[in-house]
């Protein structure tokens, strides 16, 4: 993960970034990357397991997560097939 103390930067396209404090969620004291961040990292490969993860996560993404992922894909991976589903 590329990040400073205040900003996470997508390693494949520095135009996509987010405040570091906004890339994690916590459950039972454990921090996890937000699903939209994980999906962005999986997007270039489009392996069957990445597609399965996208399909599993899509109904769980809130509106803000969907908007952010759509915007990040538009910038870093224009024309990506997931854009049609977001």
Instruction: Tell me the three state secondary structure of residue 45.
Output: coil
Phi-psi region of 25 (alpha: psi -120 to 50; beta: other; left: phi over 0): beta
CA gap 80, 60 in Å, rounded: 20
Task: Report the 10 Å Cβ neighbour count for 16.
Answer: 20
Asked if 11 and 2 count as a contact pair (C-beta separation under 8 A), the reply is yes
The model's pTM: 0.90
Number of domains in the chain: 1
Band (5; pLDDT cuts 50, 70, 90)? confident
- Express each pLDDT in 14-33 by its tens digit: 999 999 999 999 999 999 99
Structural domain harbouring 63: 2-84
pLDDT (0 to 100) of residue 3? 67
Asked if 37 and 23 count as a contact pair (C-beta separation under 8 A), the reply is yes
């Amino acid at each position: 993960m590329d990040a400073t103390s205040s900003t996470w930067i997508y390693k494949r396209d520095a135009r996509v970034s987010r405040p570091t404090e906004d890339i994690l969620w916590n459950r039972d004291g454990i921090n996890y990357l937000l699903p939209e961040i994980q999906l962005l990292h999986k997007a270039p490969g489009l392996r069957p397991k990445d597609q399965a993860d996208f399909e599993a996560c899509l109904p769980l993404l809130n509106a803000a997560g969907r908007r952010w992922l759509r915007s990040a894909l538009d910038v870093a991976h224009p024309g990506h097939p997931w854009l049609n589903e977001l």
